[in-house]
Chain A
Amino acid sequence: MTSKIRCLLGMLGTDVHSKGIRTLAQLLRDHGVEVIYLGEHNTADGMVSALLAEDADVLGISFSTATYVHYTRDLLEKMQSAGVDDVPVMLGGLIHRDDEAELREIGVKGIFGPGSTTDQIVLFLEQITGKSLSAARSRD
């Protein structure tokens, strides 16, 4: 019995700069991750119900707007009331270093701002899920 890393990727609100998250989706696919891609313009409620139905291991959100702390706090609260706050959340995009402490305090597990590498994200996914991606690759 082997299982893959299922990772939900999407963007919240009016943020439309999806180049980063589309790139990440392809990089993760090439590392053997099963990406469930939600695209742009999601609501926190929509993301939470997608998370429930897809039983994803990780939720990744990309931000290029300045309101990410507000959006993330709202999302984490909704995840908590739906009982899915055990799913780790990672953020990417234009996340300012000054906000990292606050984001971690409210429960964000991974932060990948400018300069982050694919290897860092892949390592994070393996560690946080306890699943190995090389095993997934060698099976095919």
Chain B
Amino acid sequence: MRHVAATDPVALLADVRRGDVRASARLISRIEAGDESVTPLLQSLYRQGGRTPIIGITGPPGAGKSTLVDQLLTIYRSRSLTIAVLAIDPASPFTGGAILGDRVRMARHNTDAGVFIRSMSSRGVLGGLARAASDALIVLDAMGKDLILVETVGVGQSEIDIMRHAASTVILQTPAGGDVVQAVKAGILEIGDVFVVNKSDTSGADRTVAALRESVEFRHDPHDASAWHPPVLKTQATEASGVQELVEVLELHAVYLRAHPEALRRRLLTQARVCLTELVSDGLRRRYLGAESMSAPLAALLEEIVDRRTDPYDAARQLLGALG
């Protein structure tokens, strides 16, 4: 039987909601291509969505994120939970091309109908990565899986914005020197709910755990009983060691959020703000600085800036003033 992808929006939404792989995959492709006609579909899915918890996993390249996701999938599948994965890999800044290789580590789940894995490149998505990823997460949410895992390379504002969509954020580090200072610099200590030092069999693991613990505890009042105190764990993802403990900690965090609705609410409000900021800035970009063709007034304005007859500050004020 040949699968016919629904072109009728109502049928397409129904397909996505019953978790149809091809319909969902195609919708994500349209999001990546910057197809504006998906907006009404996403609106509809958003309004009825928000039921699937999202776990974010971020860390530097080579820290073992995909391997950890693979192990988490195995544990969650052994409990009969269905899972959607969004795996984001960096793209070449020169050609826009990419090698998305996260699936290699998760290959054993390829034939499992309870697992949906989608790779996304960090470039070449119109409107920016954060926008495409948050739209894709709306689709994954609508598919009705029990859990969503999203994996990103932990550098840059877009990646941090993506992590804002997660109910629980796992920050992965390795025992390599300087990592903790890097984590402090990257500002990821603030967004982590759980910290994991992977490759715990390599030397320096205990030192990294101790240093991370110190930095994390420094940020939290030990006497504040209503706060979540991010634990620091050790894993060796290739051997599945420590992964069970991570799953248990993530469950504790979910329990914490249920017990502290105000903390959950704060999180959701931050998500909404990030999402709205993306949409507004994307709208402004498209309207005034459209990539397709530059408007004559904009071209003239740029000339004026270069000639120093005006300055970027006044020019920006002028553009925003036109909004009324």
Q: Which residues of A contact B (CB under 8 A)?
A: 1-4, 6, 25-26, 28-39, 41-43, 45-47, 49-50, 52-55, 81-84, 136-137, 139-140
The answer to the question of B93 belonging to the interface, with a C-beta cut-off of 8 Å to chain A, is: yes
A-B contact list, 17 entries, CB within 8 Å: A1-B36, A3-B29, A6-B29, A29-B97, A32-B97, A33-B97, A34-B121, A38-B103, A39-B107, A41-B107, A42-B107, A45-B110, A52-B21, A54-B25, A82-B3, A136-B97, A139-B96
In the complex, what's the smallest C-beta–C-beta distance from A12 to chain B, in angstroms?
12
With both beta carbons as reference points, the residue of chain B lying nearest to A138 in the complex is identified as B96
Q: Which residues of B contact A (CB under 8 A)?
A: 1-4, 21-22, 25-26, 28-29, 32-36, 91-101, 103-104, 107, 110-111, 113, 116-119, 121, 123-124, 126, 291
Q: How far is the CA of A75 from the CA of B197 in the complex (A)?
A: 40
Contact among A42, A52, A83 for B1, CB-based, below 8 A: A83
Contact A137 B96 (CB under 8 A): yes
Q: How far is the CA of A1 from the CA of B33 in the complex (A)?
A: 6
Q: Do A83 and B97 contact each other (CB < 8 Å), given the known contacts A3-B32, A38-B103, A140-B124?
A: no
In the complex, what's the smallest C-beta–C-beta distance from B132 to chain A, in angstroms?
12
Q: A4-B33, A34-B124 are known; give 17 further A-B pairs, CB within 8 A.
A: A2-B33, A2-B34, A2-B126, A29-B95, A29-B97, A29-B98, A34-B121, A37-B99, A37-B104, A38-B104, A43-B110, A47-B110, A52-B22, A53-B118, A54-B25, A82-B3, A84-B22
A-B contact count (CB 8 A): 118
In the complex, what's the smallest C-beta–C-beta distance from A52 to chain B, in angstroms?
5
Q: How far is the CA of A42 from the CA of B28 in the complex (A)?
A: 24
Q: How far is the CA of A43 from the CA of B107 in the complex (A)?
A: 10
In the complex, what's the smallest C-beta–C-beta distance from B74 to chain A, in angstroms?
15
Contact among B2, B21, B25, B97 for A30, CB-based, below 8 A: B97
Which chain B residues border A25 with CB–CB below 8 Å?
A: 99
Which chain A residues border B95 with CB–CB below 8 Å?
A: 29-32, 136-137, 140
Which chain B residues border A1 with CB–CB below 8 Å?
A: 33-36, 126
In the complex, what's the smallest C-beta–C-beta distance from A101 to chain B, in angstroms?
26
Contact among B1, B93, B96 for A4, CB-based, below 8 A: B96
Q: How far is the CA of A131 from the CA of B15 in the complex (A)?
A: 27
Contact A31 B97 (CB under 8 A): yes
Contact B26 A36 (CB under 8 A): no
Q: How far is the CA of A84 from the CA of B21 in the complex (A)?
A: 12
Q: Do A42 and B110 contact each other (CB < 8 Å), given the known contacts A1-B33, A34-B124, A140-B124?
A: yes
Contact A39 B104 (CB under 8 A): yes
Q: Do A53 and B117 contact each other (CB < 8 Å), given the known contacts A2-B33, A2-B126, A82-B3?
A: yes
In the complex, what's the smallest C-beta–C-beta distance from A139 to chain B, in angstroms?
6
Contact among A26, A37, A38, A55 for B26, CB-based, below 8 A: A55
Which chain A residues border B103 with CB–CB below 8 Å?
A: 36-38, 50, 54
Which chain A residues border B116 with CB–CB below 8 Å?
A: 53
Q: Do A37 and B100 contact each other (CB < 8 Å), given the known contacts A29-B92, A55-B26, A140-B124?
A: yes
Q: How far is the CA of A51 from the CA of B320 in the complex (A)?
A: 44
With both beta carbons as reference points, the residue of chain A lying nearest to B92 in the complex is identified as A29
Q: Do A37 and B101 contact each other (CB < 8 Å), given the known contacts A47-B110, A55-B22?
A: yes
Which chain B residues border A46 with CB–CB below 8 Å?
A: 107, 110-111
Q: How far is the CA of A25 from the CA of B97 in the complex (A)?
A: 10
